[in-house]
Amino acid sequence: MKKNIYMDYAATTPVDPRVLRAMLPYFTKKFGNTMSFHSFGQEAKVALEESREQISNLINAKPSEIIFTGSATESNNLALKGMALANQGKGKHIIISPIEHDCVLESAKWLASQGFKITQLAVDKYGLVNLVDVKRAIKPETILVSVIHASNEIGTVQPIEEIGKICRTKGVLFHTDCAQSFGKIPIDVNKMNIDLLTASSHKIYGPKGAALLFIRKGVKILPILHGGGHESGLRSSTVNVPAIVGFAKAAQIYQKEWQKETKKLTKLRDKLINGVLKKIPGSYLNGHPRNRLSNNINLRFDKVEGESIVIQLDLLGVAAATGSACSSAKLEPSHVLLALGLKPEQAHGSLRLSLGRFTKESDINYVLKVLPGIIKNLRKISPFK
């Protein structure tokens, strides 16, 4: 029987059955529009505000500091563009890391086309940002620093508490994309001096279509969506109550279970990494070996290309991802891997496996069993020996 092993949790996660149960009433029974004055609407509004409060607890924020959006991409767009346009009177310089998600990079590119100056920090071979570089890069006209907490590609976890401290000392706002880390790694927006934070529902076993942007009280941003004035005027759109209820439930589950899950996944992750490095010659780990998301495995293999590895795994029932050019819409190798100093031929040979709540040890054993053969076969076909 063909295997059905999902190892692409970094891309998206299935909705946890407990989350689905919590969401269901809001599709057919409590379906009101939160802006309506009648009881259907008010019932929905209560659910919205309860969700807001539950989620804000997870990061030690005030409920009024959380606004809901439709996706992390939207939150990141709002954080960068909304913040930049609202504060351009103070300055037009923004600092980002080179390993941000595309939505942050593209938003920054767009801001550059509008006259903002963007500085990209360097990262070391593990993808870590250097704190001295951050200090040096901040100028009087700097208005924002944005550094992704944990990389969706290579799993490297940045020292955001230290970065936040530097920014607070220098009077610059700090945004961090926590789409991959929210729930999995404890975050305290006050302790870590975070002013803007992005998180996403579908990365933590909640439904797609809900995300959040934490905006510290006092930080001014301009909305991208204008309309009915939802979310304190910052995100006009009929609120997706079922998705937000699901998001809150998913966050609650993490609040209780993150330690147990992290322990289990770290063990499985390291078994897979060590097993591959041992069994397959010419294999290397991308990203930091220890400051790393508990569920992220990103490896590269000499002389073979990543998409062909992914398709071979798919034929054997294992879902994975790659940073090769062939697999990207732009036909360019992953900018994250190139930022580590890897050459294109190294970036092309990358394989990302990301584990999750429903990963079993037998899944790890299966991958360790089939992957060496896949690499061996592809190396036979390759002109590079």
Partner 1 sequence: MSIYSKEVIKHFKTPQNVGRMKNPSGLGRAGNMVCGDIMYLYIKIGKNRQGKEIIKDIKFETYGCAIAIANTSLLTTMIKGKTLEDAQKVTKNDLVKKFGQVPLIKIHCSMLAVDALTEAIYDYFKKTRKPISPELLAKHERIEKEAEEIEHHHAGLVELEEELRKGN
Q: Which residues are identified as catalytic?
A: 326
> At closest approach, how far in Å is the CB of 326 from partner 1?
4
> Which two structure tokens, joined as six digits, stand for 76?
């990141």
Computed from CA positions of residues 189, 66, 84, 153, in that sequence, does the dihedral angle turn out positive or negative?
Answer: positive
> At closest approach, how far in Å is the CB of 297 from partner 1?
21
> At closest approach, how far in Å is the CB of 302 from partner 1?
9
Q: Do 204 and 181 form a contact (C-beta atoms < 8 A)?
A: no
> At closest approach, how far in Å is the CB of 67 from partner 1?
36
> What is the DSSP secondary structure assignment for residue 374, as one 8-state letter?
H
Place of tokens 């490095």: 277
Nearer to partner 1, 14 or 63 (CB): 14
Q: What residues pair up with 117 in beta bridges, in sequence order?
A: 93
> Rg of the Cα trace of the chain?
21
Nearer to partner 1, 262 or 328 (CB): 328
| b/e sequence 304-313, b meaning 16+ C-beta within 10 Å | bbbbbbbebb
Rounded CA separation 268/180 (Å): 18
CA 25 to chain centre: 29
User: Could you tell me which of 179, 180, 155, 181 has the C-alpha nearest to residue 297?
Assistant: 155
Nearer to partner 1, 37 or 384 (CB): 384
H or E stretch including 6? Answer: strand 5-6
Nearer to partner 1, 173 or 371 (CB): 371
> At closest approach, how far in Å is the CB of 324 from partner 1?
5
> At closest approach, how far in Å is the CB of 280 from partner 1?
17
Q: How many CA atoms lie within 13 A of 76 on its CB side?
A: 25
Region for 172 from its dihedrals, namely left if φ exceeds 0, alpha if ψ lies in -120 to 50, beta otherwise = beta
Query: In this structure, what are the phi and psi dihedrals at residue 149, rounded to the nearest 5 degrees?
Result: -65, -55
Pairing of strands 296-301, 283-285: antiparallel
Nearer to partner 1, 162 or 307 (CB): 307
Nearer to partner 1, 92 or 348 (CB): 348
The residue ranges that bind partner 1 (CB under 8 A) are 303-305, 307-308, 311-312, 314-315, 324-327, 329, 331, 333, 344-345, 348, 380-385
Helix (H, G, I), strand (E, B) or coil at 159: coil
